Chains A and B, each alone.
Chain A
Amino acid sequence: MRHLVSTRLWHWINLIAIVILFMSGLNISNAHPYLYWGNWGFAPEQAWLAVPRFPGWMTIPDFYSLAKARDWHLLMALPFAFGLLFVWIAMLWNGHFRRDLATRKREWRWRALKADVVQHLRFDFGHEGGKYNFLQKLAYAGVFGVLLPGMILTGLAISPGMEATLWWLVDVLGGRQSARSIHFLFAWAIFGFFVLHVALVLLTGPIGHLRAMTLGGDHEPTNPPFARPRHENGDSA
Chain B
Amino acid sequence: MSILMKRRSVLLGSGALMLGACSKVHDSKAGESLFGAVDDWHKGLQRSLTARNALAPEFALEDISPFFRGNGSTDPQNDGYPQQVAEGFANWRFTVGGLVERPLSLTLDQIMRLPQRTQITRHDCVEGWSAIGQWTGPQLSTFLDLAKVKDAANYIVFRCADDYTQGRYYESIDMVDAFHPQTIIAHRLNGEPLPVRNGAPLRARVERQLGYKHAKYLTGVEAVASLDDIGLGKGGYWEDHGGYQWYAGM
Which chain A residues have a beta carbon within 8 Å of chain B's beta carbons? 19-20, 28-29, 31-32, 34, 36, 39-43, 57, 60-62, 65-68, 70-72, 74-75, 78, 158-165, 167, 170, 176-177, 180, 202
Contact = CB atoms under 8 A, between A and B. Distances in A.
Contacts of A159: 46, 249-250
A61 B250 contact: no
A202 to B, nearest CB: 7
Interface string B70-95: 00000000000000000000000000
B140 to A, nearest CB: 17
B122 A162 contact: no
Interface in B138-162: none
B61 interface: no
B249 A32 contact: no
Contacts of A40: 63, 65, 122, 129-132
16 contacts: A28-B128, A36-B130, A39-B130, A62-B23, A66-B127, A67-B244, A67-B245, A68-B243, A71-B35, A74-B42, A74-B245, A160-B209, A160-B250, A161-B43, A161-B50, A161-B209
B5 interface: no
Contacts of A167: 57
A164 B56 CA distance: 4
Nearest to B132: A40
Contacts, number: 132
Is chain A's interface secondary structure helix, strand, loop, or mixed overall? helix
Given A40-B132, A75-B38, A60 B19 contact: yes
Given A70-B244, A162-B250, 15 more contacts: A39-B59, A40-B129, A42-B65, A57-B19, A61-B19, A61-B23, A66-B126, A66-B127, A70-B245, A75-B35, A159-B46, A160-B124, A162-B46, A162-B50, A176-B124
A165 B244 contact: no
Contacts of B7: 202
Contact of B69 (A43, A161, A162): A43
Given A19-B18, A39-B63, A70-B245, A165 B49 contact: yes
A29 to B, nearest CB: 8
Contacts of B59: 39
A72 B55 contact: no
B129 A34 contact: yes
Contact of A42 (B49, B130, B208): B130
Contacts of B249: 159-162
A34 B243 CA distance: 23
A41 B65 CA distance: 8
B187 to A, nearest CB: 22
Given A32-B125, A66-B126, A74-B38, A160 B56 contact: yes
B34 A75 contact: yes
Nearest to B177: A161
